[in-house]
């Protein structure tokens, strides 16, 4: 934590919070003064909001009061609660309210935690946001143009994006969480001036579908930035243009035409034809489902219409064929929170700015799992993550 946080905090509110914490643990002002090597009148001034604390003084007082530094610098600067944002843009029946509200509240809680950690560590998430894209032509053309533009902007070439979540977190600056949801829900998107773009993806879905959903929500950020969205099956009788665009975008973003055409032709020339085995290999290469790949190839008129339906109706067992071809499952991301978020929590814990219990709460796990995560993340330095991984992902 740096002095920057304490330079911008409301001193009267901070003083009041410190006074309440001191009284709660039964300490006198004289006791508190000894903790920071000061006289009692200094504590009086601090609690009145007349004297600014130094970072090390706040750390010492928080420890003595059995509290976390984060309890005293917690930010409430989300401009409008997520519940309000979603309610104004998305009408739901009573059952949907019961299902969606906990997800919305969880996303808001995680985003608030993220912002709080950034303030504690004085390490804001860098933003590399493009201007919001306009929709001024045929919807299919818009989807492909945006996909091409974003790939060029992020230096992604025309190949697969195996680390999609990392790219969007580290190179764009989105806050992306995996959250437990009912199976029919795929993702949520919202935007706040303080937080920027925030996304929740269904943690219960397979990785291929998570990646597709993430690309779908990314389009909402790119083209409909300030509109909160909940995406779930059978949501619309007639889809609005914004949703049709978001449905089309993942195919172009995850499987760009130039790269896909080249790899299709390479396979065709190698075997004299394009085989079902090639379908499985290519789907695995791009990290998408077989159905999504078939649909994309059909739209490019490279395979007959209805290929996926015919394979499915023949009783095709996708997982079994993948195993026979030696194609491992796409690794299922187990980290529910972003890497940057986890490292901020680790650093705050290491510096004594938060307790182990607070660290566990930030990560949404029990203390045993929190220790395991802390040990695994400490095997790598933050410097290596920021200097090596970030450069690998973001530099063309």
Most trustworthy range by pLDDT among 183-197, 225-239, 341-355: 183-197
Most trustworthy range by pLDDT among 50-64, 240-254, 315-329, 338-352: 240-254
Among positive and negative, which fits the CA dihedral 356, 357, 359, 364? Answer: positive
Domain count, the chain: 4
Residue 246 φ then ψ, to 5°: -65, -30
> Which three-class secondary structure state does DSSP give residue 177?
strand
371 vs 89: which has the higher pLDDT: 371
CA distance 261 to 264: 5
Please tell me whether residues 247 and 144 are part of one structural domain: yes
Mean pLDDT confidence for 39-49: 92
182-198 pLDDT per residue, tens = 999 999 999 988 889 99
Query: In angstroms, what is the C-alpha Rg of the chain?
Result: 25
> What percent of the chain stands above pLDDT 70?
86
Q: Is pLDDT of 67 > 50? A: yes
With respect to residue 176, please indicate whether it lies within any of the assigned structural domains.
Answer: yes
25 vs 147: which has the higher pLDDT: 147
CATH of the domain at 10: 1.10.260.40
| Helix-, strand-, coil-residue percentages of the chain, each rounded to 5 | 60, 5, 35
Boundary (domain end) residue, out of 219, 234, 254: 254
Give the CA angle between residues 340, 208, 283 to the nearest 5°. Answer: 125
121 vs 245: which has the higher pLDDT: 245
159 vs 374: which has the higher pLDDT: 159
Please tell me whether residues 111 and 235 are part of one structural domain: yes
CA distance 133 to 149: 10
Please tell me whether residues 265 and 247 are part of one structural domain: no
Q: Is pLDDT of 303 > 50? A: yes
pLDDT number for residue 202: 95
CATH of the domain at 234: 1.10.10.2910
CA distance 269 to 231: 40
Please tell me whether residues 133 and 198 are part of one structural domain: yes
Q: Smallest Cα–Cα separation from 343: which of 391, 395, 393, 384?
A: 384
5-25 pLDDT per residue, tens = 666 677 888 888 899 889 888
Give the structural domain span for 30. Answer: 3-73
Q: Is pLDDT of 51 > 70? A: yes
DSSP state of 186: E
> Which three-class secondary structure state does DSSP give residue 23?
helix
DSSP state of 92: -
Which tokens go with 195? 């937080």
Please tell me whether residues 153 and 271 are part of one structural domain: no
pLDDT number for residue 382: 45
Please tell me whether residues 86 and 55 are part of one structural domain: no
89-103, 153-167, 170-184 — which is least confidently predicted? 89-103
Confidence of residue 389 (pLDDT cuts 50, 70, 90): very low
Q: What is the dihedral of CA 284, 289, 295, 297, to 10 degrees?
A: 0
Please tell me whether residues 237 and 273 are part of one structural domain: no
pLDDT number for residue 115: 86
> Please, which residues have CB within 8 angstroms of residue 354's CB and are 6 or more apart in sequence?
68, 69, 70, 120, 345, 348, 362
With respect to residue 366, please indicate whether it lies within any of the assigned structural domains.
Answer: yes
pLDDT number for residue 358: 80
- Residue 232: beta bridge partners? 185
235-263 pLDDT per residue, tens = 777 888 889 999 999 999 999 999 999 99
Mean pLDDT confidence for 26-33: 92
Q: How far is CA 6 from CA 19, 61, 62, 345, 358, in A?
A: 17, 14, 14, 19, 21
- E runs forming strands in the chain: 175-179, 185-192, 196-202, 229-232
With respect to residue 331, please indicate whether it lies within any of the assigned structural domains.
Answer: no
Q: Is pLDDT of 28 > 70? A: yes
118, 125 contact by CB (below 8 A): yes
CA distance 295 to 283: 11
CB burial of residue 279 (10 Å; 0-12, 13-18, 19+): buried
350, 59 contact by CB (below 8 A): no
Confidence of residue 161 (pLDDT cuts 50, 70, 90): very high
Q: Is pLDDT of 87 > 90? A: no
CA distance 218 to 198: 10
With respect to residue 333, please indicate whether it lies within any of the assigned structural domains.
Answer: no
Confidence of residue 377 (pLDDT cuts 50, 70, 90): low
**Residue burial 204-231, b: 16+ Cβ < 10 Å; e: rest:** ebeebbbbbbbbbbbbbbbbbeebbbbb
Boundary (domain end) residue, out of 298, 324, 350: 324
pTM: 0.78
Which tokens go with 316? 């095709």
Which tokens go with 180? 């437990």
Please tell me whether residues 152 and 271 are part of one structural domain: no
H or E element, residue 223: helix 207-223
Please tell me whether residues 138 and 232 are part of one structural domain: yes
pLDDT number for residue 39: 93
pLDDT number for residue 79: 55
CA distance 92 to 231: 12
pLDDT number for residue 5: 60
pLDDT number for residue 291: 92
Please state, rounded to an integer, the average pLDDT across all residues of the chain: 84
Confidence of residue 142 (pLDDT cuts 50, 70, 90): very high
Please tell me whether residues 104 and 245 are part of one structural domain: yes
pLDDT number for residue 388: 47
Confidence of residue 91 (pLDDT cuts 50, 70, 90): low
- Residue 185: beta bridge partners? 232
CA distance 12 to 67: 19
Please tell me whether residues 202 and 216 are part of one structural domain: yes
pLDDT number for residue 82: 66
DSSP state of 148: H
With respect to residue 69, please indicate whether it lies within any of the assigned structural domains.
Answer: yes
With respect to residue 330, please indicate whether it lies within any of the assigned structural domains.
Answer: no
Boundary (domain end) residue, out of 254, 276, 291: 254
372 vs 219: which has the higher pLDDT: 219
CA distance 396 to 157: 8
Please tell me whether residues 208 and 273 are part of one structural domain: no
The owner of tokens 């530094």 is: 69
């Amino acid at each position: 934590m740096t002095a920057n946080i304490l330079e911008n905090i409301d001193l009267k509110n901070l003083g009041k919070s410190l006074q309440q914490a001191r009284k709660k643990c039964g300490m006198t002002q004289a006791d508190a003064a000894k903790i920071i090597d000061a006289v009692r009148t200094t504590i009086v001034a601090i609690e009145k909001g007349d004297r600014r604390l130094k970072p090390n003084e706040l750390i010492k007082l928080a420890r003595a009061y059995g509290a976390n530094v984060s309890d005293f610098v917690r930010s409430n600067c989300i401009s409008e609660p997520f519940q309000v944002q979603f309610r104004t843009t998305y009408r739901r029946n009573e059952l949907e309210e019961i299902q969606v509200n906990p997800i919305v509240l969880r996303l808001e809680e995680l985003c608030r935690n993220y912002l709080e950690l950034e303030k504690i560590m004085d390490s804001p998430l860098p933003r590399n946001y493009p201007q919001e894209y306009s929709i001024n032509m045929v919807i299919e053309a818009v989807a492909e143009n945006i996909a091409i533009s974003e790939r060029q902007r992020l230096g992604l070439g025309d190949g697969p994006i195996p680390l999609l979540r990392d790219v969007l977190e580290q190179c764009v600056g989105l806050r992306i969480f995996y959250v437990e949801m009912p199976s029919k829900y795929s993702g949520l998107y919202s935007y706040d001036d303080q937080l920027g773009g925030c996304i929740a993806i269904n943690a219960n879905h397979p990785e291929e579908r998570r990646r597709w959903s993430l690309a779908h929500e990314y389009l909402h950020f790119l083209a409909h930035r300030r509109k909160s969205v909940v995406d779930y099956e059978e949501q619309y009788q007639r889809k609005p243009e914004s949703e049709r665009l978001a449905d089309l975008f993942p195919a172009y973003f995850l499987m760009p035409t130039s790269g896909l055409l080249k790899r299709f032709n390479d396979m065709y020339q190698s075997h004299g034809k394009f085989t079902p085995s090639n379908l499985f290999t290519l789907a695995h290469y791009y990290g998408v489902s077989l159905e999504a790949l078939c649909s994309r190839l059909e739209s490019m008129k490279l395979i007959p219409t209805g290929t996926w339906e015919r394979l499915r109706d023949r009783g095709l067992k996708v997982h079994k064929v993948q195993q026979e071809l030696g194609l491992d499952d796409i690794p299922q991301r187990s980290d529910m929170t972003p890497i940057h978020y986890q490292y901020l929590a680790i650093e705050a814990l290491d510096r004594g700015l938060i307790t182990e219990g607070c660290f566990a709460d930030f990560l949404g796990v029990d203390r045993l799992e929190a220790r395991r995560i802390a040990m695994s993340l400490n095997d790598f330095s933050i410097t290596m993550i920021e200097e090596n991984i970030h450069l690998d992902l973001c530099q063309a």
